[in-house]
């Protein structure tokens, strides 16, 4: 058994919570956490709570303390043992001398994620219990200090429904709308009160994310010269934090810029967020010298946010460190795609300007953590049988079957390995352009999405995407859909271990640093880049990833690993 635990409070033992925590997270809980469990359970027993409670319910990498459920409704109870509390802002409080997430923000974040993204269908409310508070400030949510009041609040609910309790415990979280879709639907309201709007729709920040936002804004307010390095794997919420900082910076009247290299993502965001003005979202590298991280950029800026910063060249990093008073670099080294991309922790530290603060965003927001771990193990030589992946992963023997299955999904997209065709206009990915399809009964031709200003913004900001069009890895980075179809090429192949087939690689993006050139000169480096590319492609799906393999050996290997999945 792993967390959560379901039982009547007086039957829940701290030892059981410790044991299940270890099984869930493979580490011991802190002494502070153990003491908090003791005090919280004691409060519930004092309150005379005699109905089953869900203890330590995981929610996107965090945990709700206690959850009560009847047939249709539920109550999230967040317990705090702080004595002295002082509100800092919407995100944080000072609690017993330490910065902590604002408990009202935290409980609101939990209930909105449960209400919008959980499969149970239960509608939740939330309260904060401050069982040790001496100086309690005015907080924008219901705060309980008396056990009797908590008892009365729980008594308002019907007797627990065991089936609904089970639905909550064993249900799944699914992001119903991608962040891009959410921005498109709410673009006119975001600038005025971004934090509350994002929170109210289930896009609230985790404690680590909230602390980062507060520290960046605090550095701006204090006039500090500071650099933030923010590492986060796929689905950890880097872009959500970057956009939150963009909206907050603009709302505070700071000159704020969000910078990208990915022209597909940049043009999509510019199209959606047009009310903010085009100057707020810019390229950091253009190749013509006028990007934010290039020598010709002269605009005044207070806060500059570099998303997908792993794709920076060394010269971009050196110049970027001179931009703005406060600089934030969001990066993931496992998403470096081309040979001259140098956005690594070591390089950022080498050229950093001002004080440097490092953050690691660990919460998995988009993908299930089990699936992300399985993908990392698959690509980096520690492959294992698939188990409890949390999303649907399916291999198709025929390309037509994959496209047919994907076509039945409302929110879907198709991504193809960009190695065997050069990506120039009118070149097909599937059809006569690739030799492997010539002798197959392929009844559809799939063309590359080409125009980053027209085709890509429309493709990613709508749900029912045309499956006659295919995104490359360059056009998939930073995006997601509920269901993703991935055409796995003949470039990265399994032969008892991962190997590359340089003869089929024609991708010339990057010139002398392209995958094509590197594959001929340095197979080990090309292999690293290919693994990064497939990591990007395999982590775009929220509910499902459908796979078609052009190489039979690779297909059979992956199919065997997935044979235990439903």
177: confidence class by pLDDT, cuts 50, 70, 90: low
Q: Quote the percentage of the chain above a pLDDT of 90.
A: 60
62, 151 contact by CB (below 8 A) = no
Radius of gyration of the chain (CA): 25
Report residue 357 as tokens.
């603060």
Q: What is the mean pLDDT of residues 487-506?
A: 93
Q: How far apart are CA 191 and CA 107, in angstroms?
A: 23
Q: What CA–CA distances, in Å, run from 347 to 47, 308, 316, 343? A: 55, 15, 11, 7
Residue 354 has pLDDT above 90, yes or no: no
Residue 274 has pLDDT above 70, yes or no: no
> What pLDDT score was predicted for residue 424?
55
Residue 445 has pLDDT above 90, yes or no: no
E strands, 366-441, in order: 392-396, 412-416, 428-430
* Cis amide bond preceding 352, omega within 30: no
> What pLDDT score was predicted for residue 275?
55
388, with CB counted inside 10 A (0-12, 13-18, 19+), is: exposed
> What pLDDT score was predicted for residue 92?
94
238, with CB counted inside 10 A (0-12, 13-18, 19+), is: buried
87: confidence class by pLDDT, cuts 50, 70, 90: very high
527: confidence class by pLDDT, cuts 50, 70, 90: very high
pTM: 0.84
pLDDT in tens, 57-78: 988 878 999 999 998 999 999 9
> Which of 158-167, 233-242, 271-280 has maximum average pLDDT?
158-167
279: confidence class by pLDDT, cuts 50, 70, 90: low
192: confidence class by pLDDT, cuts 50, 70, 90: low
Residue 387 has pLDDT above 90, yes or no: no
31, with CB counted inside 10 A (0-12, 13-18, 19+), is: exposed
Q: What is the DSSP letter of 29?
A: P
> What pLDDT score was predicted for residue 385?
83
Q: Among 396, 357, 401, 395, which Cα is nearest to 378's?
A: 395
Least confident range of 31-35, 57-61, 327-331: 57-61
Least confident range of 274-278, 415-419, 451-455: 274-278
Q: What is the DSSP letter of 487?
A: E
Give the chain's mean pLDDT: 88
Q: How far apart are CA 450 and CA 441, in angstroms?
A: 26
Residue 468 has pLDDT above 90, yes or no: no
**Taking CA 316 as the corner, what is the angle to CA 314 and CA 321, rounded to the nearest 5 degrees?**
100
423: confidence class by pLDDT, cuts 50, 70, 90: low
> What pLDDT score was predicted for residue 230?
97
Residue 277 has pLDDT above 60, yes or no: no
Q: DSSP string covering 166-181, please?
A: HHHHH--B--SS-HHH
Residue 150 has pLDDT above 90, yes or no: yes
278: confidence class by pLDDT, cuts 50, 70, 90: very low
Residue 514 has pLDDT above 60, yes or no: yes
> What pLDDT score was predicted for residue 500?
96
| CA terminus-to-terminus distance, the chain | 21
Residue 565 has pLDDT above 60, yes or no: no
Q: What is the mean pLDDT of residues 179-203?
A: 76
> What pLDDT score was predicted for residue 304?
97
More confident residue, 5 or 445: 5
Least confident range of 366-375, 436-445, 448-457: 436-445
Least confident range of 168-177, 314-323, 359-368, 540-549: 359-368
Least confident range of 81-85, 92-96, 370-374: 370-374
């Amino acid at each position: 058994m792993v967390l959560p635990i379901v039982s009547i409070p007086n039957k829940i033992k701290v030892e059981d919570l410790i044991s299940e925590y270890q099984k869930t997270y493979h580490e011991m809980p802190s002494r502070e956490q153990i003491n908090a469990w003791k005090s919280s359970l004691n409060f519930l027993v004092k309150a005379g709570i005699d109905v089953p409670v869900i203890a330590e319910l995981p929610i996107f990498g965090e945990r709700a303390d206690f959850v009560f459920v009847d047939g249709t409704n539920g109550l999230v109870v967040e317990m705090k043992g702080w004595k002295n509390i002082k509100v800092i802002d919407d995100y944080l409080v000072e609690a017993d001398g330490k910065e902590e997430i604002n408990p009202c923000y935290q409980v609101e974040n939990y209930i909105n994620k449960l209400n919008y993204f959980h499969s149970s269908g239960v509608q939740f409310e939330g309260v904060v219990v401050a069982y040790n508070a001496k100086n309690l400030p005015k907080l924008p949510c219901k705060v309980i200090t008396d056990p009797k009041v908590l008892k009365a609040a729980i008594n308002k609910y019907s007797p627990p429904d065991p089936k609904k309790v089970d639905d909550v415990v064993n249900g799944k979280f699914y992001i119903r709308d991608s962040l891009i879709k959410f921005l498109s639907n709410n673009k006119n309201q975001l600038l005025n009160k971004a934090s509350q709007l994002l929170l109210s729709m289930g896009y609230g920040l985790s404690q680590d994310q909230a602390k980062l936002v507060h520290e960046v804004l605090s550095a701006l307010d204090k006039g500090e010269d500071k650099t933030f390095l923010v590492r986060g794997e796929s689905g950890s919420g880097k872009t959500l934090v970057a956009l939150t900082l963009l909206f907050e910076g603009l709302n505070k009247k700071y000159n704020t810029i969000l910078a990208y290299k990915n022209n597909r993502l940049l043009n999509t965001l510019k199209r959606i967020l047009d009310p903010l003005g085009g100057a707020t979202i810019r390229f950091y590298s253009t190749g013509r010298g006028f990007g934010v991280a290039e020598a010709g950029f002269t605009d005044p800026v207070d806060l500059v946010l570099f998303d997908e910063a792993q794709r920076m060249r060394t010269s971009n990093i050196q110049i970027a460190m001179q931009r703005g008073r406060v600089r934030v670099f969001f990066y993931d080294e496992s998403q470096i795609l081309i040979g001259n991309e140098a956005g690594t922790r070591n390089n950022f530290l080498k050229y950093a300007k001002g004080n440097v603060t490092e953050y690691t965003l660990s919460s998995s927001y988009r993908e299930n953590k089990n699936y992300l771990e399985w993908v990392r193990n698959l690509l980096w030589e520690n492959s294992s049988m698939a188990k409890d992946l949390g999303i649907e992963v399916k291999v198709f023997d025929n390309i037509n079957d994959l496209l047919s299955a994907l076509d039945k999904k409302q929110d879907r997209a198709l991504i193809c390995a960009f190695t065997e065709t050069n990506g120039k206009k009118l070149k097909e990915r599937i059809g006569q352009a690739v030799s492997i399809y010539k002798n197959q009964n392929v009844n559809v031709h799939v063309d590359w999405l080409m125009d980053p200003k027209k085709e890509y913004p429309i493709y990613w900001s709508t749900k029912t995407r045309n499956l006659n069009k295919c995104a490359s890895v360059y056009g998939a980075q930073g995006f997601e859909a509920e269901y993703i179809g991935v055409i796995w090429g003949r470039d990265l192949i399994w032969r008892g271990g991962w190997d590359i087939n340089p003869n089929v690689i024609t991708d010339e993006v990057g010139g002398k640093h392209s995958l094509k050139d590197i594959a001929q000169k340095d197979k080990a480096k090309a292999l690293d880049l290919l693994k990064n590319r497939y990591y990007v492609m395999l982590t775009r799906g929220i509910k499902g990833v459908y796979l078609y393999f052009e190489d039979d050996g690779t297909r059979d290997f992956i199919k065997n690993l997935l044979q235990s999945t439903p």
